[in-house]
């Protein structure tokens, strides 16, 4: 049986810099995976390839047996793959509810969302999503007036409305203070588990990666350094993952 996500022998080169080489990875539906490794290891590049924001120079990625390169229908792709970033990509001037409903953009078109023609059904969806992230009372607040942690919750609510099968998160909590970061990460993982989503998140913090994720995929210099269940990763492995790079 084929895996849910198959990354086969990927290579990605930027001009003369090899960002990823001979990278293969199989991922099952519903897995919670943290991508770790030193800065420059290729985490963002891998996430961008999985999001189809970049194309590999070699190799291929399949999702549910289908080549990602052939999934060109934006609407269908948005149902498969959702993305959450360190900078939340929210429109600060708009009320929270509009940013949440932007998760429906693939169904809606941007015009409708900006003209704010809200149907009761849409409003209910937004309220439900905002309630799950603990922001039900902020529906009509200007998004830019919210704190960083709250804005990341809005981004999570938007993701709930989009409801993709796969969630890709690139350093989703890097811009938040530690207490807030852990809250948001716990919420991201909780939602992914409840929705049976496959979550792949790059993280700075190995501690959080081990605490919240089932599987750690460690990258170093564009290759997999180890790929192990979180519980079996040793301190020595973590030390050599980060230390080797420093000595270069």
Interface residues with Mg ion (CB under 5 A) are 43-44
Q: Are strands 5-14 and 17-27 parallel, antiparallel or unpaired?
A: antiparallel
In which residue are the tokens 């409801």 written? 163
Q: Tokens at residue 29, please? A: 């539906």
Residue 41 sits in the site that holds ligand ADP (CB under 6 A): yes
Residue 119 sits in the site that holds ligand ADP (CB under 6 A): no
* R_g (Cα) of the chain, nearest Å: 18
Whole-angstrom Cα distance, residue 218 to residue 207?
14
Residue 39 sits in the site that holds ligand ADP (CB under 6 A): yes
Task: State the minimum distance, in angstroms, from the CB of residue 130 to Mg ion.
Answer: 29
Task: State the minimum distance, in angstroms, from the CB of residue 139 to ligand ADP.
Answer: 35
- Nearer of residues 12 and 104 to ligand ADP, judged by Cβ: 12
Site size with ligand ADP, rule: CB under 6 A: 12
Q: Which stretch binds ligand ADP (CB under 6 A): 42-50, 58-66, 184-192, 238-246?
A: 42-50
Note the residue count of the chain: 248
Residue 42 sits in the site that holds ligand ADP (CB under 6 A): yes
Give the x-and-dash track for 186-205 against ligand ADP (CB under 6 A). Answer: --------------------
Contacts of 73 (CB under 8 A, 6+ apart): none
Whether 162 and 103 have beta carbons less than 8 Å apart is answered as yes
Residue 242 sits in the site that holds ligand ADP (CB under 6 A): no
Residue 16 sits in the site that holds ligand ADP (CB under 6 A): no
Residue 112 buriedness (CB in 10 A; 0-12 / 13-18 / 19+): middle
In the chain the first and final C-alpha atoms are separated, in Å, by 41
Residue 43 sits in the site that holds ligand ADP (CB under 6 A): yes
Write out the residues near ligand ADP by the rule CB under 6 A.
14-15, 17, 19, 37, 39-45
């Amino acid at each position: 049986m084929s895996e849910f996500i198959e990354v086969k022998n990927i290579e990605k080169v930027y001009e003369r810099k090899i960002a990823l080489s001979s990278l293969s990875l199989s991922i099952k539906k519903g897995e919670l995976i943290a991508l770790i490794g030193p800065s420059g290891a290729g985490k963002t590049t891998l996430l961008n390839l999985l999001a189809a924001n970049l194309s590999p120079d070699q190799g291929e990625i399949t999702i549910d047996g289908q080549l990602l390169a052939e999934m060109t229908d934006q609407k269908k792709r948005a149902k498969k793959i959702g993305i959450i970033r360190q900078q939340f990509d929210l429109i600060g001037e708009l009320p929270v509810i509009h940013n949440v409903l932007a998760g429906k953009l693939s169904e809606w078109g941007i015009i409708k969302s900006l003209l704010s023609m809200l149907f009761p059904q849409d409003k209910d969806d937004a309220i439900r999503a905002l309630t799950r992230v603990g922001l039900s009372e902020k529906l009509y607040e200007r998004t830019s007036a919210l704190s960083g942690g709250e804005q990341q919750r809005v981004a999570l609510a938007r993701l709930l409305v989009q409801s993709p099968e796969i969630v890709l998160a690139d350093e989703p909590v890097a811009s938040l203070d530690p207490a807030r970061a852990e809250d948001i990460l716990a919420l991201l993982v909780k939602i992914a588990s409840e929705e049976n989503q496959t979550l792949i998140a790059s993280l700075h913090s190995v501690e959080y990666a081990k605490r919240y994720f089932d599987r750690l995929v460690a990258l170093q210099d564009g290759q997999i350094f180890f790929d192990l269940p979180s519980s079996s990763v040793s301190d020595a492995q973590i030390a050599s993952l980060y230390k080797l790079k420093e000595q270069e």
